[in-house]
Amino acid sequence: MQSRAEKQENMKTETIISELKRVADPERKKAVKTMFPTSMEYLGVRTPTMRQLLKKWHNDVQNMPPEKLIAFSKQLVETQIFEANQVAFELLWQNKTALNQLNLSDLEYLGQNMDNWATTDSFSIMLSGWAWRNNQITDNNILEWLSSENRWWKRAAVVSTIPLNLRARGGTGDTQRTLMICEKVVDSRDDMIVKALSWALRELSKSDKPAVQKFMEKYDSKLHPRVRREVYTKLETGRKKG
């Protein structure tokens, strides 16, 4: 039986990719064209199968030195394979010692392939939102992403507010920083930003409903109809849709 040190030594990007390809589903692979078009290679690994693999890989790398895990995660991102990016984010999320060491340079390297909502949201929920909440990156860093010409970094900035407020991700509520970001995109008509704005406001409403109500009233005439519909419904019924 291999020791933990031997398992860590054998954890290479080639090993990850080989196992992902082994369990890939050709039918699932076709779905990428409609689910989340991406320039990355998409293998077609279904979520339940991915979870099983992640559990195994987490056990193999859980005691890996944080700097080594960060480097390994960057190597996975470099493959430009959709599922490998997801594995990189998940392994870091599951290792809080490594997660707590991520800096701006690390995050921007890990986010280099963001060109679809699924990868962007995983990055923002697992990595950048956590790092922001922990003050590993600053408000100005997030605002710089928001001013980017790249729509996916813009979306990442907005979705990074979710971990500030989502209890399941350790959030306790941060009205000031959430609304600071939201008010910068009230005029947006980019579908990816509109959906992110609605999500951010709905999540904040769970911890500070009055602040969201006031925000909606202030910017009502500027907001996209989708944002108004979804957020007002959330405020009135507690649900996204009536």
Q: What is the end-to-end Cα distance of the chain in Å, rounded?
A: 55
* Whether the predicted pLDDT of 127 surpasses 60: yes
Residue 210: pLDDT above 90? yes
More confident residue, 37 or 168: 37
Lookup: tokens for 222: 């500027």
Domains and CATH numbers, the chain: 1-101 (no CATH), 142-242 (1.25.10.90)
CB contact burial 68-82 (16+ within 10 A = b; e otherwise):
ebbebbeebbebebb
pLDDT recorded at residue 6: 45
The pLDDT assigned to 242 comes to 58
Number of residues assigned to the chain: 242
Instruction: Compute the mean pLDDT over every residue in the chain, rounded to the nearest whole number.
Output: 93
Given a cut of 50, whether residue 104 has pLDDT beyond it is yes
pLDDT of residue 35: 87
The pLDDT tens digits for 67-87 are: 999 999 999 999 999 999 999
pLDDT at 107: 98
- Given a cut of 70, is residue 235 above it in pLDDT? yes
Angle (nearest 5°) at CA 19 between 27 and 124: 80
Quote the percentage of the chain above a pLDDT of 90: 85
pLDDT digits 0-9 by tens, 144-194: 999 999 999 999 999 999 999 998 888 889 999 999 999 999 999 999 999
Q: DSSP character for 233?
A: H
